[in-house]
Amino acid sequence: MNSVARKICFVTGSRADFGLLVWPMRAIRETPGLTLQLIVTGMHLAPEFGYTFNAIRDEGFEADERVETLLASDTGAGVAKSVGLGVIGFADAFTRLQPDIVVVLGDRFEMFAAAQAAMFMRLPMAHLFGGDVTEGAVDESIRHAISKMSHLHFTSNRGSTQRLTQLGEDPSRIHTIGSVGIDAIKHLDLMDRDGIGRAVGMPLGEHNALVTFHPVTVEAGRSVAELDELFAALSTLDPAFRLIFTLANADAEGRALNDRTKAFAASRPNTIAVASLGQLRYLSLMSQVDLVIGNSSSGILEAPSFGIPTVDVGDRQRGRERAASVFHAASERGAIGAAISQALRRGRQATVNPYGDGDSSRRFADIIAGIPDFALLLKKGFYELPASGARP
């Protein structure tokens, strides 16, 4: 084993992936023989998305590098150009940092840019949440592409592990550790009901919902119409029902969705919209509401651990494994309203979460520390499934 501390470089581009990465980064920082590096990019550096760079500092981390990628655009062409800027910026950042391995999570275009730069620079890559399925978003293609560029995989469930072997990834390089996002639920000291009400700027009422709706990126032009259907369904709720929106991400059409969400929040009593809550406030709020509504992965990955029901709207998360507390609704006001009624009737109750037990980050760090030479990972072949098609 190398006596010099090996550099483990994480990339974070949004509030969503950072919330998932906090505990793996802490586990790496606490592991002898490893040193943490952090590159901050994307929405973290944009005031319109809450300038969540400050949240990174609040969690006790500092950026070793910043990579600016976002353009003031709400189109697919703008996102594509942002990827190009990211590849250039990450190439410079990796040159300065000289990491031993790069850690990327998920499926966003910032991660796609980082993965491309790392691949061409012959840097080993570890990928979290590969093999997941989200058929309603371009993220699906990005995630699988990143998996093929990566050399080590950490999946959230067994179904994802199987899909990676179907992509030709060697099972010996795939580790099913569960969702690292659940670790925060296990370890954080969450805020109480009054505290989270003060923190978000609106006291919680008798009934409350956490709502997030991101762009549906596979089909251009659908997102605004689907959001309007969600608004129509929410408008049928009693005005005393409190709604807390977190705004959409920086995908194409995200800015248009955010403008409409702010307008809806301003027009409806007991409704607010916030750019970003940060991990502690977000999970604290989730623990207190009656249900989660929208198309964010957090309603599928984290909400079941609280026993909170989720109404998953549309196709963005289609294909993910789901707990019994997750109710799917087509992007139509009647279907959404019916699913909300079902979720409220179910209420809060203990639920088996298929995404793990809250110890994923420690497993991740132990596996990373146990690899004797990251450079040996660079040489990888295509794993052929048995001719019969049987699982390995």
Distance separating alpha carbons of residues 14 and 126, to the nearest angstrom = 18
Kindly give, in sequence order, each residue whose CB lies less than 8 Å from that of residue 252, ignoring residues fewer than 6 positions away: 74, 75, 76, 78, 79, 215, 217, 220
Distance separating alpha carbons of residues 8 and 18, to the nearest angstrom = 16
pLDDT the model gives residue 2: 53
pLDDT in tens, 67-112: 998 887 778 898 899 999 999 999 999 999 999 999 999 998 999 9
pTM for the predicted model, two decimal places: 0.79
pLDDT the model gives residue 50: 63
pLDDT the model gives residue 43: 81
pLDDT the model gives residue 1: 45
pLDDT the model gives residue 178: 94
Question: Quick check: helix, strand or coil at residue 270?
Answer: coil
Distance separating alpha carbons of residues 2 and 339, to the nearest angstrom = 55
Amino acid type, 54: N
pLDDT the model gives residue 254: 83
pLDDT the model gives residue 92: 98
**CA distances, 329 to each of 228, 263, 264, 333 (Å):** 14, 24, 21, 9
Distance separating alpha carbons of residues 128 and 251, to the nearest angstrom = 20
Question: Quick check: helix, strand or coil at residue 277?
Answer: coil
**CA distances, 362 to each of 23, 212, 358 (Å):** 8, 29, 9
Please identify every stretch of the chain with a pLDDT value under 70, giving residue numbers as ranges.
Answer: 1-3, 47-51, 136, 217-221, 250, 252, 388-392
pLDDT the model gives residue 48: 67
